Structure 1
């Protein structure tokens, strides 16, 4: 409402409505509110009753190297090229245990750039993984391993390999399974240029 004076008489007249584009000038803008975001406090990771880990390894086969699988010397014309002794099974099992614990893999803990591990026995790596497992309050539930090689035939050596793996893991005979497969002459494994291994491990919380 506006007060208008005509011939000495005060008259009241209605103010013209604000146009839409003049609205900001007709009324005061609301006070700007500042929102403060607070970061949520980090929560402790859960203590899981079981943990699962997967391991995989593959090594090139070449003449002039020993073939060592599961800590057992296997007679063959070729062995695994590696910085350490090239034990494809123990490398795989080590990675499976480390993976279940959510720890760095074998290549990070025992890098091939470190001359200390040149020619090292792979049971050193697995024993360290077992120590870390026990330190964190876990024990081995079971492990299932598959070695993939076209040659040599591993059937005659499977039980010796499995027994030694049980000893390295401090595990009961009934929880360690070992299988040996060929690769049907396909790819580098089937063409006898490499050997591979996979393993899945289940860890159980001791308490």
Structure 2
């Protein structure tokens, strides 16, 4: 469930049974939600009449456990009950932002900064590895065989890649994954420029100012 939008889950009773029969509240079972999780922000509530769980928009991302109990109808003494736990995954909200990468010369090639530098997950930096992982990165189709997006979001431009402007799409999705996935897409623009040309020629063509200064000095000298 994406954090920003919130939403509702199917009923937790959908896969529960009473003597092999589907649970029908008031007919063959009673239903009692347990203690609700307490996220830092937002809320998670289980409807005691339906078993549907509602996640408020902006609920703190995380994995939450929500217990509940069903008991048989008619009631017995002692009561005939079963307790289960619903696991609710609230995913961070991804925001991928388009990138305009610095120029890369086609002579030497090079590597750009990561496309993830300006992307966020629920307002936090994107983390692809380690215990704080909150996202996955999936590159789209490369616009040229000489341009490759790496696992860390940097883009490598191989030497002799044709000069031009290239659009490279990519997608980030939340971790833990949700169903449907919580993803955001953006485009990185990579510009490949020709190498800088350095003129080569006689020294008087490369330094006309120095030549002019020398001529003025020669003209200003008087014969001994």
Same fold at TM > 0.5: no
More helix by share: 1
TM-score when normalising by structure 2: 0.26
TM-score, length of structure 1 as denominator length: 0.28
Higher relative contact order (CA 8 A, sep 6+): 1
